[in-house]
Amino acid sequence: MKKDLLKLLDLTREDITLVLDTADKLKAEQKAGIKHDFPSGKTLAMIFAKNSTRTRVSFEVGIYQLGGHGIFLSNADSQLGRGEPIQDTARVLSRYCDCIMIRTYAQQEVEDLAKYASIPVINALTDFEHPCQVLADLQTIREHKGRLEGLKLAYIGDGNNMANSIIAGGIICGMNVSVACPNDYRPDPETLKFAMSETDATFELTDDPRVAAKDADVIITDVWTSMGQEGESEKRKIAFYGYCVDDEIMALANEGCMVQHCLPAHRGEEITEKVFEEHADEIFDEAENRLHAQKAVMLLLMQQNMTK
């Protein structure tokens, strides 16, 4: 793996398999009460420009379970909020900490942080990608289905950071990916260029959710209005009418089709209450696996950095 986890587009299938295998091992150890074999005393700097529940708790609990400590930094708590250049923050934190995770808006901010940091940097969410979430999704799918390669993964909704990450992660792992988005809300051109160039799996982009759901083994959806887009909420409700994962959509999928949602869910918009509750165990397995997938990423990146 590279020094940092900035986006799934940077990873190979071998990289993702290593993360998932490590996450499975760490999950089994944690369930069995076995202490993880990792040097104690490591410190994770956690930079949050966007609010969070799952990201903060899973990273903070994760570094604690690895024998380390997490330091929460919001814009209000740090000099970043007062205009300190990201490159200065990167060089300072590199002298105090062993790893940095950042949850922010612009992908370039994460890229710049990694450029100037001498310690690993983890993208915990940007407007471009949400790699840690999709690693947890892939772990959950593999747990339930026993494999990734050859499965059909359908994504229905906004062509946002989740869509970009699902396309990248799914295709890299040999899944056949079908994405349904309104024409004005398509995934990022960089992601689509990657998807169209790959030959190991099929990729389909449509504006019809029924096409995407046809014969799917996994259906993933996300909110129609992401953080920072609240002013577009009513406009988006109109644009995404018909993109709700409901019984009609599920009837088109393969028997035993899984449902994944990164949460929080807006029941009655992108997914019905009925479908959500029928697949709640899968969805909350997915939420739990944020902890294990992120522990794997932290462990692997810090181990790699320690050997340099």
262, 279, 285, 292: which is the annotated catalytic residue? 262
Look up the CATH number of domain 8-130+290-306.
3.40.50.1370
* Cα 190–Cα 139–Cα 24 angle in degrees, nearest 5: 135
- The rounded distance, in Å, linking the Cα atoms of 80 and 50 is 13
Class of the CATH-defined domain 133-286: alpha beta
Give yes or no on whether 8-130+290-306 and 133-286 have one common fold: yes
- The rounded distance, in Å, linking the Cα atoms of 202 and 177 is 6
Please confirm, yes or no, whether 210 is among the known catalytic residues: no
4, 54, 127, 130: which is the annotated catalytic residue? 130
* Cα 148–Cα 150–Cα 151 angle in degrees, nearest 5: 65
47 contacts: CB under 8 Å, gap ≥ 6? 73, 78, 80, 89, 100, 101, 102, 103, 104, 113
Please confirm, yes or no, whether 82 is among the known catalytic residues: no
Please confirm, yes or no, whether 112 is among the known catalytic residues: no
103, 236, 279, 292: which is the annotated catalytic residue? 103
Q: What is the pLDDT of residue 218?
A: 98
- The rounded distance, in Å, linking the Cα atoms of 66 and 106 is 29
Give 152-199 pLDDT, tens digit per residue: 999 999 999 999 999 999 999 999 999 999 999 999 999 999 999 977
Map out the domains of the chain as residue ranges: 8-130+290-306, 133-286
Q: pTM here?
A: 0.96
- The rounded distance, in Å, linking the Cα atoms of 127 and 121 is 17
Strands across the sheet with 69-74, in order? 69-74, 43-48, 99-103, 121-125
Please confirm, yes or no, whether 236 is among the known catalytic residues: no
Q: What is the pLDDT of residue 226?
A: 86
List phi, psi (to 5°) of 113: -60, -45
Please confirm, yes or no, whether 222 is among the known catalytic residues: yes
Helix (H) or strand (E) holding 258: strand 258-261
Please confirm, yes or no, whether 95 is among the known catalytic residues: no
List of the chain residues with pLDDT < 50: none
Q: Which of 71, 70, 69, 67 is nearest to 26 (CA)?
A: 67
